[in-house]
């Protein structure tokens, strides 16, 4: 069982002992630390926080603990109930709230849950603020309100629809073209809140929707990370239904992947590439993704006359660089679309709307669209960490061994070879080292990943 405390929030497995898992005690402690930080940060009379959750089994329990902790601190809560991460991010500024909390462990299996923390803009906290919350939690320097100053909980289940309204009001979402295209789409909602939001959005766009695992009961029918090996049911359904495409999201709906009409993956890395291609064609400009993302975004950006730059992994790092470079679209290669015209957060709903607009305007099959982009192949592997493993020392050795190559060390070690690249980093959300590679063929990408896994193990054993 695991509990991971980081600047981006607290994430862990349900049950077990206090301090080593996400127990009710740990949940209350961390919610109270956030409430304390919020008061120090905002320094005003009344406080409001938006809270929503994905459909995981532990969600209702965790949400009740979080909300009532905030109430005990005199903070008013807007309860969105079952929601999505981008919906909560959109709701915070619309509610003029001081912050937000999303209860989700993203792509982690059902035994996990987490508190993701937002500021008053509906954006993830920066490193300094996250560190401050961790210190408050550790010191237990928290105080609660007297009985006449308790907060109140207000329920509002309208925000998924309000979020959809905001998406459909975007200038680049070509609603009429999508309606005319008469798309048929199979949606895999992994039995979480994507099963509510994505079909509802598609119906508003005049799309014929076939629902697969769209009951938000938290019983994930397959590994919830939207990767090819987990999506055989979606592949079969797309072919059987003669659908134009398949859509899959992760449990909190900030990651998005497509499947073509033949039941083949469009490529999770290419979700952002395609959406950027559409946006840049209308509004040329710059792009940003993290350094574990495909080179294809750089190629497409430069084709449209813009400049591409890579950030450290982590949404807050991507957003910081996006703002600095005044980009028109950015995100992460894991299917995370960040479109500043709407908000600075990964958003599968806006990704769906932009992708369908592109498809409808170009009048192309999904498989033909994929052929228009540079072909890169990625391998994503990992090594489980053990307590005695000196990850930083191992990565320093790799850095020294490849000092003659084009190195980036702002987030682990990335080595850019002329024809391929490898990125080695310690995960912020799981006890693993991630090994990402990209090359001109899948075989080459896999071989490069396996080569570095062998090197890492050899260094660890020496």
Mean pLDDT of the chain: 95
**Residue 89 backbone dihedrals phi, psi, to 5 degrees:** -65, -40
Last residue of a domain, one of 337, 371, 405: 371
Last residue of a domain, one of 318, 351, 371: 371
pTM of the complete model: 0.93
Does residue 233 sit in the same domain as residue 364? Answer: yes
Q: Given pLDDT bands bounded at 50, 70 and 90, which one contains residue 197? A: very high
Does residue 142 sit in the same domain as residue 194? Answer: no
- Position 430 scores a pLDDT of 73
Distance CA(322)–CA(309), nearest Å, equals 9
Does residue 350 sit in the same domain as residue 300? Answer: yes
In the chain, the number of structural domains is: 3
- How confident is the model over 233-260, as pLDDT tens digits? 999 999 999 999 999 999 999 999 999 9
From residue 129, how far is each of 124, 136, 382 by CA, in Å? 10, 11, 29
- CATH code of 429's domain: 3.30.310.50
Averaged pLDDT, 216-220: 97
Q: What whole-number percentage of the chain has pLDDT above 70? A: 100
- Position 1 scores a pLDDT of 57
Last residue of a domain, one of 157, 181, 198: 157
Least confident of 82-91, 356-365, 419-428: 419-428
Q: Which DSSP helix (H) or strand (E) runs through 204?
A: helix 194-204
Does residue 323 sit in the same domain as residue 394? Answer: no
From residue 213, how far is each of 94, 108, 225, 248 by CA, in Å? 30, 17, 14, 10
Does residue 86 sit in the same domain as residue 146? Answer: yes
Does residue 230 sit in the same domain as residue 293? Answer: yes
Which residues on adjacent β-strands are paired with residue 311? 290
Distance CA(361)–CA(357), nearest Å, equals 6
Does residue 132 sit in the same domain as residue 18? Answer: yes
- CATH code of 31's domain: 3.40.120.10
Boundaries of domain holding 418 = 377-461
15 near 21, Cβ under 8 Å?
yes
- How confident is the model over 421-446, as pLDDT tens digits? 999 998 877 778 899 999 999 999 99
Does residue 246 sit in the same domain as residue 291? Answer: yes
Tell how strand 48-53 and strand 76-82 pair up.
parallel
- Position 460 scores a pLDDT of 86
Does residue 63 sit in the same domain as residue 33? Answer: yes
Does residue 367 sit in the same domain as residue 387? Answer: no
* Sheet architecture: strand order including 413-416: 377-384, 432-439, 421-426, 413-416, 406-408
Residue 165 has pLDDT above 80, yes or no: yes
Does residue 174 sit in the same domain as residue 234? Answer: yes
Averaged pLDDT, 64-75: 98
- Position 426 scores a pLDDT of 87
Does residue 140 sit in the same domain as residue 86? Answer: yes
Tell how strand 112-118 and strand 99-103 pair up.
antiparallel
Residue 10 structure tokens: 């607290």
């Amino acid at each position: 069982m695991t509990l991971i405390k980081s600047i981006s929030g607290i994430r862990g497995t349900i049950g077990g002992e206090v301090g080593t898992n996400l127990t009710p005690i740990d949940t209350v402690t961390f919610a109270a630390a956030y409430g304390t930080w919020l008061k120090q940060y905002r320094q005003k009379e009344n406080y409001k926080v938006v809270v929503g959750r994905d459909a995981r089994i532990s969600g209702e329990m965790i949400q009740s603990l979080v909300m009532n902790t905030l109430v005990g601190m005199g903070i008013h809560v807007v309860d969105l109930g079952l929601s999505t991460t981008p919906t909560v991010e959109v709701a915070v500024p619309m509610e003029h709230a001081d912050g937000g909390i999303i209860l989700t462990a993203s792509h982690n299996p059902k035994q996990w849950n987490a508190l993701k923390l937002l500021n008053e803009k509906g954006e993830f906290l920066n490193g300094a603020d996250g560190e401050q919350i961790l210190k408050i939690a550790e010191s237990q320097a928290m105080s609660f309100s007297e009985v006449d100053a308790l907060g109140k909980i207000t329920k509002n289940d309208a925000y998924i629809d309000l979020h959809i309204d905001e998406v459909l009001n975007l200038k680049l979402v070509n609603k009429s073209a999508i309606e005319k295209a008469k798309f048929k789409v199979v949606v895999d909602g992994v039995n979480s809140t994507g099963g509510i939001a994505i079909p509802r959005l598609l119906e508003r766009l005049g799309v014929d929707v076939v629902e697969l695992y769209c009951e938000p009961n938290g019983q994930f029918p397959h590994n919830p990370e939207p990767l090819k090996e987990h999506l055989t049911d979606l592949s079969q359904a797309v072919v059987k239904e003669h659908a134009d495409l398949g859509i899959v999201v992760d449990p909190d709906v900030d990651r998005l992947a497509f499947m073509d009409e033949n039941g083949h993956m469009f490529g999770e890395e290419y979700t952002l590439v395609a959406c950027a291609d559409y946006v840049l064609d209308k509004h040329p400009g710059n792009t940003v993704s993290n350094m574990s993302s495909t080179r294809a975004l750089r190629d497409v950006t430069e084709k449209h006359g813009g400049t591409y730059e890579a950030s450290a992994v982590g949404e807050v790092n991507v957003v910081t660089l996006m703002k600095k470079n005044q980009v028109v679209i950015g995100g992460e290669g894991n299917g995370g679309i960040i479109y500043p015209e709407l908000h600075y957060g990964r958003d599968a709903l806006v990704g769906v709307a932009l992708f369908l607009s592109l498809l409808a305007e170009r009048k192309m099959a999904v498989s033909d669209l994929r052929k228009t982009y540079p072909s890169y192949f990625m391998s994503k592997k990992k090594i489980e960490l053990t307590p005695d493993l000196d990850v930083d020392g191992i990565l320093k050795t790799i850095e020294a061994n490849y000092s003659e190559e084009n190195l980036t060390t702002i987030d682990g070690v990335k080595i850019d070879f002329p024809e391929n690249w490898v990125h080695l980093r310690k995960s912020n959300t799981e006890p693993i080292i991630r090994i990402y590679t990209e090359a001109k063929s899948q075989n080459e990408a896999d071989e490069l990943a396996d080569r570095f896994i062998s090197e890492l193990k050899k260094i660890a054993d020496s």
